[in-house]
Copies of this chain bind each other. A is one copy, B any other.
Amino acid sequence: MSSKQKLIMLPGPTNVSDRVMRAMLKPVINHRGDAFRELYKGVQGKTKHLFQTQGEVIVFSSSGTGGVEAAVLNLIRPGDVAVVPVFGEFSARLAEEVELAGGTAVKVASEFGTAPSLEELSKAMDKVGKVKALFLVHNETSTGVAVPYVREACRMAKAHGAFAVVDAISSLGGYAIPVDEWGVDICITGSQKCVAAPPGLALLSISGGVVDFLKKDPPKTRYFDIPRYLEYGSRGETPFTPALPLFYALDEALSELLEEGFTRRVQRHDEMSALLYDGVARMGLKAVASPQVRSKTVVATFYPAGVDDAAFRKALSHDHDIVVAGGFGPFAGKVFRIGCMGQVNAEYVDRTLKAVAETLKMPKPA
């Protein structure tokens, strides 16, 4: 195994600063003692800034997928109907989660590389009538598509008496999603994306409406039992043993984010993604996403004819120490994805574009 830190231009995990890495070396402490309560209360406060909320927040010791499962298991009961826009791998998974929980997922599908329109969502909701929840993936990591209508979709869900859940795992921090203002009932993000901490934690905001609902109708999960996390969270604890080193790192990464300034971090993602899209276009490459729905955090690009995905990424890693991701599902082998997240800066972007351009000139396989 290489012990060298490569430049991680993945759609997560992403580069973590030395300062955040070193925070993991802080002392082992009792998670039922004052030191942990102080740590977790700090994390809660900073997480509220991230979600721009006065409401509740939770940190699960799980990946982002665990956070999504938590949202589904807490809101969906057998027989419930949810509307799920499906336009990539992660939104398809969300629809499956709803079905696993005994609900019906009404899928509003669009081709990979696009997103369903707000009108199509509206029609689906009207048709269903009694919608329990809208589950919206904001940013499809698999295709580099971000929907431009989170606020409007949440308003629509509210008008139908439905909960609005937004999977912002690969976007929050690169985008602002003010959950109180926009009426997001549960918003989910991961530690290892725009927050630039190591992987292993899921961050959630929880609206008052969800709290009230769960008081009357508690969920059937324990590990992801939101009311239990809120109860423990009110005194600065988690119900189950927290992944302590990751909490230390998250605390430091959130401090780093707030020191930079939330608005500035979002702007930086605007700027860096614009440079990346410009750069790949100048190489004559075609982005997967149509221009109106291009993600700022994942730049997915079709390979030119004849480029071998595995050979390209291997050369990029071996010769340039830069790691990018391949394509998902129908795009496997046809697409590469550059992450534009967290610590991304002009130097990283420049290095990446130069290395991609050089590597694409490789002799093609016969």
Contact = CB atoms under 8 A, between A and B. Distances in A.
A221 B22 contact: no
Interface string A211-245: 00000000011111000000000000001111111
A26 interface: yes
29 contacts: A1-B35, A1-B38, A1-B39, A3-B26, A4-B27, A5-B28, A6-B27, A6-B29, A8-B29, A10-B30, A12-B241, A15-B28, A21-B245, A28-B198, A29-B323, A32-B325, A61-B243, A63-B223, A63-B241, A65-B241, A102-B220, A198-B244, A198-B245, A199-B242, A200-B243, A200-B244, A201-B243, A223-B224, A245-B246
Given A62-B62, A100-B220, A28 B1 contact: no
A31 interface: yes
Most buried by B among A10, A39, A64, A325: A10
A97 interface: yes
Contacts of A223: 62-63, 65-66, 69, 224
The secondary structure that dominates the A interface is loop
A28 B3 contact: no
Nearest to A15: B28
Interface of A: 1-6, 8, 10, 12-16, 21-22, 24-33, 35, 38-39, 61-66, 69, 93, 96-97, 100-102, 190, 192, 198-201, 220-224, 239-246, 249, 317, 323, 325-326
A69 B222 contact: yes
A164 to B, nearest CB: 21
Given A69-B221, A325-B32, A2 B25 contact: no
A276 B13 CA distance: 44
Contacts of A190: 241
A30 B323 contact: yes
Given A199-B244, A241-B199, A245-B246, A25 B32 contact: no
A100 B241 contact: no
